[in-house]
Amino acid sequence: MKKGTKRASSMSQIIRDYAKENPGLGPTQIANNLVAQGHKAYPALVSQALGKTGKKRGRKAVAKRGRKPAAVKATATGELNMLSLKAASDLIKASGSAEEAIASIRTYQKISAMFQ
């Protein structure tokens, strides 16, 4: 027995034993019943004692994300990469047709020219 303690077994062991005898009780009910028996117990202590059941707790391994795709740009020679083609395709689908997409690009150019 450790120096300065009054009981031979630990409170956590008492809680685990009581929980094993009464498996349907929750932490608050176990704490109330142990207090009625004269032990100093509270729900947080009960949860802590029951939570350490030999399982390792810790952070789950999370898969790391791959590299982000490169920005959608045309190369210096004017060639388009696949990301550029995908972005252009999405713009056409959102606009409704290629002509409307071109019209919206021209409108964007006019508006951006006003703010320069």
- pLDDT tens, 41-53? 888 888 888 886 5
Positive or negative: CA dihedral 8, 12, 17, 22: positive
User: How far apart (Å, rounded) are the C-alpha atoms in residues 91 and 3?
Assistant: 76
Give the residue, 61 or 108, on which the prediction is more confident.
108
Any domain includes 92: yes
pLDDT digits (tens, 9 = 90+) for 48-87: 888 865 555 566 777 777 766 655 455 555 666 778 788 8
The count of domains in the chain is 2
User: What type of residue is 60?
Assistant: K
Whether 61 is covered by a domain: the verdict is: no
Identify the pLDDT of residue 72.
Answer: 47
Q: Is residue 104 part of a domain?
A: yes
At residue 1, the pLDDT reads 47
Q: Which pair of structure tokens corresponds to residue 22?
A: 């009464």
Instruction: Report yes or no on 42 lying in a domain.
Output: yes
Query: What residue numbers bound the domain in which 27 lies?
Result: 11-51
Name which of 114, 92, 110 is nearest 101 in CA terms: 92
Mean pLDDT of the chain: 79
| 46 inside domain | yes
Other C-beta atoms closer than 10 Å to the C-beta of 87 total 14
> Is 109 part of a structural domain of the chain?
yes
Measured distance between the N- and C-terminal CA atoms of the chain, rounded to whole angstroms: 81
